[in-house]
Amino acid sequence: MKYLIVCITLACFGAIFYGFYIQEENLALGHKFIGSGTVGLFLVAMPLFLIVYSKGKQMKDYMLTEENIKKMREKETEKTDNQ
């Protein structure tokens, strides 16, 4: 799956660069390549990346909740006590 994500990302960047390359000759087609590459990058490649690499992780671990604030404060006091 990660190879598919890399291929999609490279294809999107390739479309963007190709759009900039042909923009001088054919402005409308250049804008279409740039736009489709950007859409592919942010609506296809990024969600696939996030789905694959965030599998098995809990969202609550990354949110700033009262429980996580207490854990951070405990770790901070442990660091200052050890020094």
Q: Is the entire prediction scored with pTM above 0.75?
A: no
Each residue's pLDDT tens digit, 6-57: 999 999 999 999 999 999 999 999 999 999 999 999 999 999 999 898 888 8
* Cα Rg of the chain, angstroms: 22
Residue type, 64: L
Number of compact structural domains in the chain: 1
Instruction: Please tell me the predicted confidence (pLDDT) of residue 7.
Output: 95
Say which DSSP state 42 is in: I
Instruction: Please tell me the predicted confidence (pLDDT) of residue 13.
Output: 97
Residue 31's contacts (CB-CB under 8 Å, 6 or more residues apart) are 19, 23
Q: Cα separation of 70 and 12, whole Å? A: 43
What residue numbers bound the domain in which 23 lies? 2-82
